[in-house]
Amino acid sequence: MFQQSRRGTIVWLFIVGLALSLTLAAGAIPTEIGVALLAAYLGLALLVARNVPLGDVMSTLPSRTSRQPQATEMAREAVARARSHPAYDALVQLLDVGLIVDEQRPDGLSLRRGRFISLDDEGIRPFAIVTVPGALADRLGRVRFELRDETGKAQYVYEDEKWLQAGENILLPDYRFPIRKNKQELEAGGWTLLVMVDGGMIGMHHFSLSPSLRERRRELTSTDGELRERIWRSREDDESLPLSLEELLRQQSRQRHQS
């Protein structure tokens, strides 16, 4: 419609104005809505009078079909917990959060995403994917990750400046938290991952640290029991990492090998 001639646009505008006048005169719509429609019509008529291309104007309006990034279930849970924190900040939206687990397997070291961690795992590294609004973008932001044990003691703290761009950003520490070879004796139980940006709490993610499987195997008296435990871990623990995060990990690995 907006690509036709100026004469056709004026005719269309006249028909719309006539229909709007009849509707207002009949009192078929509330006064507030009528005033808003009249103001919109007058604005449209002014644009036509000034020879402003209506197609260009319509293209600048937000599209109803544009989809905003959707947060994962873990991210929604983490945000719900963070809302009760005094330093909660809703300006930076949390899209995903979790742990990258280094697991020693017979065929070598494997990376997986997990929420149920064992004291036999080599180490873990937290990550978060966030959306930054344009008003807070294109700058260095202070990012902080904390891993707290069941008593609330901080066992791992990572804080550094990260470049924040508009839209999605992957936040990933440069080093992991050792589990199996940790110098301190780690206590199994419910742990918490805290994610902060510029001092604002944006997510609190809960995960479990279970006792060593090696210790459990000593208590098992049958191979069948051990097999059932292995199956439980593979079903509950193994999750795929976001593809963008996998690529980032590969890049970091290549950089370490080159250096």
Residue ranges of domains in the chain: 6-59, 73-239
pLDDT averages per 10-residue partition of the chain, 259 residues = 54 65 67 68 63 51 60 95 95 94 68 87 94 94 97 96 94 93 91 97 96 69 48 48 64 56
pLDDT of residue 232: 40
Give the list of residues 6+ apart from residue 143 with CB closer than 8 angstroms, or none.
159, 160, 161, 162, 171, 196, 197
pLDDT of residue 112: 84
Distance (Å, whole) CA 92 – CA 198: 10
116-118 sheet: strands from edge to edge? 116-118, 200-210, 189-197, 139-148, 154-164
| Residue 105, CA distances (Å) to 111, 165, 176, 215, 238 in order | 10, 37, 18, 17, 13
Helices (H), ranges, the chain: 6-26, 31-49, 54-59, 73-82, 213-219, 223-237, 243-258
| Residue 91, CA distances (Å) to 3, 135, 137, 202, 234 in order | 40, 10, 11, 9, 36
Distance (Å, whole) CA 183 – CA 176: 14
What are phi and psi for residue 129, nearest 5 degrees?
A: -115, 125
pLDDT of residue 250: 60
What are phi and psi for residue 226, nearest 5 degrees?
A: -65, -40
Copy the structure tokens of residue 155.
């066992």
Copy the structure tokens of residue 225.
């029991």
pLDDT of residue 130: 96
pLDDT of residue 114: 86
Scan for tokens 């397997």, then name that residue: 105
Scan for tokens 């210790």, then name that residue: 215
* Closest to 241 (Cα-Cα) out of 125, 69, 142: 125
pTM for this structure? 0.64
Is-contact 238 117, C-beta < 8 A? no
pLDDT of residue 212: 84
pLDDT of residue 227: 43
CATH class of segment(s) 73-239: mainly beta
With helix as H, strand as E and coil as C, how does 87-143 read? CECCCCEEEEEEEEEEEEECCEEEEEECCEEECCCCEEEEEEEEEECHHHCCEEEEE
pLDDT of residue 162: 95
| Residue 7, CA distances (Å) to 15, 54, 123, 212 in order | 13, 13, 71, 80
| Residue 117, CA distances (Å) to 114, 122, 173, 185, 234 in order | 7, 10, 18, 15, 12
